Amino acid sequence: MNIVWFVVRRLLATALLLAVLSFLIFSLLYLAPGDIAKNLLGTKAVTPEALAAVRAQYHLDDPFLAQYWHWLSGVLTGDWGTSIRSGLPVADEIASRAGITVRLIVMGFLIAALVSIPAGVWAARRRGTWVDRTLVSGAVVGVSAPGFAVGLLLLFVFAVTLRWFPVYGTGEGFWGQLWHLTLPAIALAVGLGALVVQLTRAAVVRELDADYVTFQRSRGLSEARVMGTVLRNAAIPIVTSLGLMVTYLVGGTILVEVVFGLPGLGTQLQQAVLFKDVPVVQALTLITGLLVCLISLAVDLLYLAIDPRILRKAVTA
């Protein structure tokens, strides 16, 4: 098995997982109590004419598998359906809000990664000192704090009391948007960054206790070269934690966007659930699942770049 076959296997597994996920997402519509057509109408007035139009639009009189295939073929060609709430194409609704969520996720990831990884390495190198105990204690508090609670605290302190940041809104221009998204990104990054600190510290401590570190130091290698080897060997669990972090960021934006009043995909999903806008809920759920699968695939490929021995292990597995 070469690297191409390894990648093909991962792609096929991802495609199969997405197919199963799409079937489950579509099936959720049928698990909801009540008439499917009435659920699709949401809060609109239910009349016999409206029910008949919905049943014709969504092919509800067709067999279940035929309905699923019709929906899936539309998704594959870019037709996500029509929003019940606004009457606009779902794809356009999502595209108009995706920018805010993408910027928020990127900012949250950068803040968490750039702070937590160096903090975890520092704590490992200062194991048992007050620095280590302080960072670990702070990480425990950060992991325990819900994102929405952190957001409310940040709003009260830095937006309402000190007035350093805006209370809500997205701002104008690049720097204006960056300024408005700073507090939400920090709220999103706190809990995940704290988890990465703990995982990074544990991975680096394990490597520092390995025999090769003692051997390298006994040969007179510089501490920078020793730490370079340590970090390379500790990279697998760190990359795993970063992958988990991005996965959580994709789903964790909902509460943060609601708290800060951001018109992103998280707020859109919350509103779609409240108004029973089933096509939007289905589309956003499938997109979330797709992003999670792609992140997992990217993490697998990063493993190969960090440690090619993984490929040999996959051959013998």
Average pLDDT of the residues in 237-255: 76
For 42, the token pair is 């949401």
Give which of 192, 20, 11 is closest to 111, Cα–Cα.
192
pLDDT of 2 higher than 70: no
pLDDT of residue 122: 92
Q: Is the pLDDT of residue 137 over 70?
A: yes
Question: What would the mean pLDDT of 164-185 be, rounded to a whole number?
Answer: 81
Q: Which residues pair with 89 in a beta bridge?
A: 82
**What does the alpha-carbon distance between residue 267 and residue 269 come to, in Å, rounded to a whole number?**
5
Q: For residue 252, give the nearest of 195, 303, 180, 167 by alpha carbon.
A: 195
- Identity (one letter) of the amino acid at 129? T
Is a pLDDT exceeding 70 seen at residue 152? yes
What average pLDDT does the segment 16-45 reach? 77
Q: How far apart are CA 216 and CA 158, in angstroms?
A: 48
Report the DSSP beta bridge partners of residue 82.
89
Quick one: which of 73, 98, 61, 44 has its CA closest to 266?
A: 98
pTM attached to this predicted model = 0.80
Q: How far apart are CA 107 and CA 227, in angstroms?
A: 28
Average pLDDT of span 235-250: 77
On whether the CB atoms of residues 257 and 185 are closer than 8 A, the answer is no
198-241 tens-digit pLDDT: 888 988 888 888 888 888 888 888 888 888 888 888 887 788 77
* pLDDT, tens only, 86-118: 778 888 888 888 888 888 888 988 988 899 889
Write down the pLDDT at residue 151.
82
Q: What is the DSSP string of 36-61?
A: HHHHHHTTS---HHHHHHHHHHTTTT
The answer to whether residue 184 scores a pLDDT higher than 70 is yes
The whole-number average pLDDT for the span 42-54 is: 73
Residue 267, beta-bridge partner list = none
pLDDT range class, residue 282, cuts 50, 70, 90: confident
**For residues 81 and 284, is the Cβ–Cβ distance under 8 A?**
no
Distance from chain centroid for Cα 296: 11
- Where residue 155 falls (left for φ over 0; alpha for ψ -120 to 50; beta otherwise) is alpha
pLDDT score at 11: 84
